[in-house]
Amino acid sequence: MSSTTDPAAAASGQRTAAETQAIVERSLRRRYRAEKRFQAYGIAAVLAGVLFVVFLFGSIFSQGASVFRQSYLRLQVFYDPAVIDPAGTRLADDLATADYQALVRESLRKRFPDVEGRAALRKLYAVASGAAAVELQQRVAADPTLIGRSERVWVLADDAVDMLLKGETRRDSAEEERRLTDEQVAWIDALAADGSLALRFNRAFFGNGDSRDPEQAGVRGALFGSFLTLLITLLLSFPIGVAAAVYLEEFAPRNRLTDVIEVNINNLAAVPSIVFGLLGLAVFIAYFGLPRSAPLVGGLVLTLLTLPTIIIASRAALKAVPPSIREAAFGMGASRLQTVAHHVLPLAMPGMLTGAIIGMARALGESAPLLMIGMVAFIVDVPKGVLDPSTALPVQVFLWSDLPERGFVERTSGAIIVLLLFLLVMNATAVVLRNRFEKRW
Amino acid sequence: MNDTPSAPPAAGPATAIDAKSLPMPEGIRTVGSVTTADPLFSCRSVDVFYGQKQAIKNLNIDIGRKQVLAMIGPSGCGKSTFLRCLNRMNDTIVGARVEGQIHLDGRDIHDRKQDVVQLRARVGMVFQKPNPFPKSIYENVAYGPRIHGLAGDRAELDDIVSTSLRRAGLWDEVKDRLQQPGTSLSGGQQQRLCIARTIAVNPEVILMDEPCSALDPIATARIEDLIDELRQSYAICIVTHSMQQAARVSQRTAYFHLGELIEVGETDRIFTNPRAKLTEDYITGRFG
Amino acid sequence: MTPSLLLVVVVAMSVVAFWVGKGRSIAIVGGTRGIRQLHSLPGHYGLLTALWCGLPALLVIGLWLAFQDGLLLRLVSSHLPPEIRALPAAEFGLFVNDVRNVIAGNLPPAQVSPATAAAAAEYLELRRVARLALTGLVLAMGVVAALVVRGRIHPELRARNSVEIILEGLLFLCSLIAVLTTVGIILSVVFEASRFFGVVPVGEFLFGTRWSPQMAIRADQVGSSGAFGAVPLFAGTLLISAVAMVVAVPVGLFSAIYLAEYAPQRVRRLVKPLLEVLAGVPTVVYGFFAVVTVGPALRAWGEALGLDVAGESALAAGLVMGIMIIPFVSSLADDMITAVPQSLRDGAYALGATRSETIKQVVLRAALPGIVGGVLLAISRAIGETMIVVMAAGLAANLTANPLEAVTTVTVQIVTLLVGDQEFDSPKTLAAFALGLVLFVATLVLNVVALYVVRRYREQYD
């Protein structure tokens, strides 16, 4: 059809080139419109994705950023010997059981001498957190010579005060809609005016375990729980994962058994994490009698969970080592094991470590299997060993997200920020490791 | 191969069959002097399969001591495959199967008692592409002696390393930078490093699989000189695509075609007076 | 010795054995200058000695740790007074729990019944004796093995070969752990589920439409007989997964297409990692996002439109789950699209096809099996996702197709049934394992099909 006067073409009813061109030209506008539309869908999808990211992080950070500062109350405290140690024994036991709340109350009364009546006073006392007395007790325990003296101490304010100071509780809302009365708001304003009530770095959030009071609740216990759990996970899953990958990649004969292992690993990587939790509950706790809520069990379950990830990543790293290195070693008379240990493993190690870090990051964010094995209890103490009951950071997020107090929303977001920071550091390490050591052969 | 003489195998002139040379099977079609006196390797009826595919068919050859055997032939003719039989590198290839007898100094290398690691210590190998370990020059050469326990202490190891590098003609170029990575050397230097690495184990045979194909002419010339020197102490089997190279470095030449050993004999004789038609066609450049 | 101390001792013994074996091999050939005469390196002789010294001992300790508790408990309970052994299973379980608590030191013996205290004391005494025996056995095994190996060291001993066989065996065992995990999952879930099906018929579980797992505590209570028809859970799971897919598939697929085929390099390099960030965010964060931000927002919008949106609507959970799955779909689709050879595209361009026509008619058609596989994997992810639905979906088992209402899912029910203290034998607890079995089988089938499709697809273009 190169010629417009091709009689054969005309005779057989085919179109001439000019006709064809005309048809194409007519269709072009429609086709280009379709093209534009298609591209617009793509851009819309990308924008939607980016928007979700921005929205997710924006929402978390806007709610959680304020957790790093907390309302503290400056009190002029007189360590009254008559209250702390009426018998004058200075025994540690006596000092620990004294009524430090009374000191806080006394201090607040002195600050606002006009307040009278039980109900009013109780409202006044509610400005300070229950943790204030604990703080005073710890100071006395550390330095008993304080008794009989007076000092200025920063103690935690109540979470309702904190919410007011951070603007979470609106002043113009009706009195019955907020937890503070107008009277209390007036006291708070007075305290804030002379600098006795201020937002300071939130020591409690990083120094405390869980608590029922938002202002006292902290992530330390959860952080330690996560740390111990991940430690067990890393110690088990990395060596086992690398060994399994080495076997499958460097030693295994191609037979039914190794095929089964291979398919099995790929499938295991896609099994829902909660099923691993069921396994942990049925095997480690019910069958082997390990304690519930223990980081040891959490670590075991997460080991099984991350193992496929680590094996797959390690195998990829081994595959990336060029065969010429193996040939060189074999040609020198190195045995298979020597070849792997001396040459292949060192070259594959950065890739394997990257895989391990990514696996650990996944394990750190995992909570469903930990719920199954009971790492979801309310635990105030910081765990000291792998058999102590504990929770983990993501589980702490889950626990706090369920609590109604406004202060806990902030805590939850704060714990999420801490969690995300850890994940960020881990993933960044993995990326740096990959970029620095990745060799192109 | 219809023009290959079907006469009984023409054993080389005046070759008394040594006790170590295995008996020759019937009906082989290889032309020329297959056997040698006092052979180091003696191969009989060797077949190699990669899965279903037969890469080498009924190969018979003896390999002598302290001489260079060049293997030539068109691509895919099985010469590299045969080379890899001699130190059992084919073991590392999934699906590869070697049949027949290959005796090294009168012992079957496929014997169950034969440790493949010891075999490879006796039969060193240099590969087509220089493949130094991504470690220092020193560690590259020291690796073999270390894994085979050839040095009792550090001084002895140092000694082995420097001797090997000297013999490979690399010492003067690298003596001041032994701790630098082996991969930092030029291609020709890397290949000489690989040779130094091989001779550090003090093998009896060195197998070379097209050792110069990745090198420029100057580096190639140096390697060829080196091969000539090494011949004083080792048997060398070299696979090459270059007939000139075969003519320059070898004393014996074997011509492979489609998995069969067509002709083998003194290098001078093969290049001046080939007896098989296929050999003649190849060396006169009619195909290849 | 406690087992953990024993472990340390065994490791230390192996280290000593290593040096003994190594030293012996050097001595036998007259010093380091003679090591050429050895078949293997001195280190191999050391390693062989150490492995023989340590491995059997470790094996014994491992077996002991795995079975001691069950064994001792059985021994103790066989000595219990008959009236306690005759107790019904549930009460006997409580008794055993008390004994355990005394053993662990959580309960002072003075606070429990004399029988409990006696049982605990017997357990402790048995354990003390057993530990003593274990210590003796392990130490003797280690020393004897090391000495035997040391005696057999001579230059021809193929120590390297033996060491490598042992180590290769250990590597093989490590790779078997993955298989053991699967077997463990299947066994534990199937075992507990079969006990559940002993109480509740399979048919009722799979096809019943009423789910209220509250069992009567006493037989005479009314209206709390418990119903275990799981259809509302399956429906809820599917509803939420469907919402998630409606969000994730178009957004993930189109962004993958745009990034792979249209976007300038700069945009691609910036946006791809940004989307992948979504994959690294823990699911509990998504759950919180759903509860605190998305749920209330949907409710408010619904009110504005005059719709009644439940606080824990399937829409909110599904929407957020969809966001979570976007990077999963987009990175898989990206892999599949970039695997389509350029020659196919060139063929279409050469015929005068526009870009979108090439993509729609050639690239996507060629990549379709891979993309379908990816979507199946995504569905399996959605079905198995737990935290988002636990936090954002409801507990009430409604059988509805309306995404504005609250529904519950399989994973939510597993969590609710198992979190908190409960005895291991009630149908309520066992129901969780039956649900787990369904979940495992469903995701397994999806994964097997998806992985098969994806692998076939990859092989096609490799």
Write the pLDDT tens digit of every residue in C417-457. Answer: 888 656 556 778 888 999 999 999 999 999 989 888 888 87
For residue A7, the model assigns a pLDDT of 56
Lowest-confidence segment of A79-88, B145-154, B213-222, C117-126 by average pLDDT: A79-88
For residue C82, the model assigns a pLDDT of 82
Kindly state the helix (H) or strand (E) to which residue B125 belongs, with its residue range: strand B123-126
A274 class by beta-carbon count within 10 Å (0-12 exposed, 13-18 middle, 19+ buried)? buried
Strand duo B96-104 + B41-50: pairing: antiparallel
User: Would you call A331 an interface residue with chain B, using a CB distance cutoff of 8 Å?
Assistant: yes
User: Would you call C156 an interface residue with chain B, using a CB distance cutoff of 8 Å?
Assistant: no
Contact in structure between C433 and A278 (CB atoms under 8 Å): yes
Taking an 8 Å cut-off on Cβ atoms, the answer to whether B115 and C161 are in contact is yes
Computed over every residue of chain C, the mean pLDDT equals 87
Cα–Cα distance for residue pair C188/A101, rounded to 1 Å: 52
- Length of chain A measured in residues: 441
For residue C442, the model assigns a pLDDT of 94
As given in the structure block, the two tokens for residue A327 are 């040939």
**Which among C179, C257, C450 is the nearest to A261, CB-wise?**
C179
For chain A, positions 103-132, list CB contacts with chain C under 8 A.
Answer: none
User: Would you call C42 an interface residue with chain B, using a CB distance cutoff of 8 Å?
Assistant: yes
Contact in structure between B130 and B191 (CB atoms under 8 Å): yes
Chains that touch C (3 or more CB pairs under 8 A): A, B
- Length of chain B measured in residues: 288
Measured over the CA atoms of residue B191, residue B194, residue B200 and residue B204, the dihedral's sign is negative
User: Would you call A256 an interface residue with chain B, using a CB distance cutoff of 8 Å?
Assistant: no
Give this complex's ipTM: 0.88
Taking an 8 Å cut-off on Cβ atoms, the answer to whether C164 and A337 are in contact is yes
| Exposed e or buried b per residue across A206-230, where buried means at least 16 C-beta atoms within 10 angstroms of its C-beta | eebbbbebbbbbbbbbbbbbbbbbb
Among chain C residues, the shortest Cα distance to A426 is held by C280
Taking an 8 Å cut-off on Cβ atoms, the answer to whether C160 and B117 are in contact is yes
For chain C, the domains span 3-157, 227-461
Residues A325-353 have pLDDT tens digits of: 999 999 998 999 999 999 999 999 999 99
Closest chain B C-alpha to C25 CA, distance in angstroms: 12
Taking an 8 Å cut-off on Cβ atoms, the answer to whether A311 and C284 are in contact is no
As given in the structure block, the two tokens for residue B257 are 């075609």
For chain A, positions 35-94, list CB contacts with chain C under 8 A.
Answer: 35, 37-39, 41-46, 48-50, 52-53, 55-56, 59-60, 63
Q: Does domain B31-131+202-283 have CATH number 3.40.50.300?
A: yes
Mean pLDDT calculated for residue range C8-15: 93
Cα–Cα distance for residue pair A362/C28, rounded to 1 Å: 52
- Length of chain C measured in residues: 462
Closest CA to A309 of A227, A395, A392, A234: A234
**Which among A324, A330, A343 is the nearest to B89, CB-wise?**
A330
Q: How confident is the model at residue C289 (pLDDT cuts 50, 70, 90)?
A: very high
Residues 6 or more apart whose Cβ sits within 8 Å of residue A253? none
pTM for this one? 0.86
Among chain B residues, the shortest Cα distance to C38 is held by B149
**Which among A39, A50, A268 is the nearest to C262, CB-wise?**
A39
For residue C57, the model assigns a pLDDT of 92
Residues 6 or more apart whose Cβ sits within 8 Å of residue C340? C362, C363, C366, C367, C461
Mean pLDDT calculated for residue range A143-170: 86
Residue C239 dihedral angles phi and psi, to the nearest 5°: -60, -50
For residue B17, the model assigns a pLDDT of 42
Q: How confident is the model at residue B2 (pLDDT cuts 50, 70, 90)?
A: very low
User: Would you call C38 an interface residue with chain B, using a CB distance cutoff of 8 Å?
Assistant: yes
Q: Evaluate if residue B197 carries a pLDDT over 90.
A: yes
- 3-state secondary structure (DSSP) of residue B24: coil
For residue A56, the model assigns a pLDDT of 92
Query: DSSP assignment of A192-232, as one string?
Result: HHTTSEEEEE-HHHHH----SSGGG--SHHHHHHHHHHHHH
Judging contacts by C-beta atoms under 8 Å, the chain B residues touching residue C160 are 117
Q: How confident is the model at residue A26 (pLDDT cuts 50, 70, 90)?
A: confident
Calculate ∠ Cα A52-A53-A56, nearest 5°.
Answer: 80
For residue A13, the model assigns a pLDDT of 65
Q: Does domain C227-461 have CATH number 1.10.10.60?
A: no
Q: How confident is the model at residue B19 (pLDDT cuts 50, 70, 90)?
A: very low
User: Would you call A333 an interface residue with chain B, using a CB distance cutoff of 8 Å?
Assistant: yes
Closest CA to C228 of C413, C439, C442: C413
User: Would you call A233 an interface residue with chain C, using a CB distance cutoff of 8 Å?
Assistant: no
User: Would you call A248 an interface residue with chain B, using a CB distance cutoff of 8 Å?
Assistant: no
For residue B13, the model assigns a pLDDT of 40
Contact in structure between B169 and B192 (CB atoms under 8 Å): yes
The torsion angle over the Cα atoms of residues C265, C271, C276 and C281, rounded to 10 degrees, is 160
Computed over every residue of chain B, the mean pLDDT equals 86
Closest CA to A343 of B70, B8, B134, B224: B134
Taking an 8 Å cut-off on Cβ atoms, the answer to whether B120 and A347 are in contact is no
Q: Could you say which DSSP state residue B181 is in?
A: B
Chains that touch A (3 or more CB pairs under 8 A): B, C
Cα–Cα distance for residue pair A4/A22, rounded to 1 Å: 13
Taking an 8 Å cut-off on Cβ atoms, the answer to whether C40 and B147 are in contact is no
Q: At what angle do helices C159-199 and A256-268 cross, to 10 degrees?
A: 60
Q: How confident is the model at residue C218 (pLDDT cuts 50, 70, 90)?
A: very low
Judging contacts by C-beta atoms under 8 Å, the chain A residues touching residue B116 are 335
Contact in structure between A305 and A280 (CB atoms under 8 Å): no
**Which among A254, A330, A439 is the nearest to B92, CB-wise?**
A330
For residue A1, the model assigns a pLDDT of 42
For chain A, positions 315-354, list CB contacts with chain C under 8 A.
Answer: 335-337
CA–CA distances in Å: residue C401 to residues B1, C230, C231, C327, C412: 78, 15, 12, 27, 18
Mean pLDDT calculated for residue range B158-176: 92
Contact in structure between A315 and A343 (CB atoms under 8 Å): no
User: Would you call B117 an interface residue with chain C, using a CB distance cutoff of 8 Å?
Assistant: yes
Closest CA to C233 of C21, C18, C434: C434
Judging contacts by C-beta atoms under 8 Å, the chain A residues touching residue C103 are none
Taking an 8 Å cut-off on Cβ atoms, the answer to whether A335 and C255 are in contact is no
**Which among A260, A275, A398 is the nearest to C284, CB-wise?**
A398
Residues B240-265 have pLDDT tens digits of: 988 899 999 999 999 999 889 999 99
Q: Could you say which DSSP state residue B136 is in?
A: B
User: Would you call B201 an interface residue with chain A, using a CB distance cutoff of 8 Å?
Assistant: yes
Judging contacts by C-beta atoms under 8 Å, the chain A residues touching residue B134 are 325, 347, 439
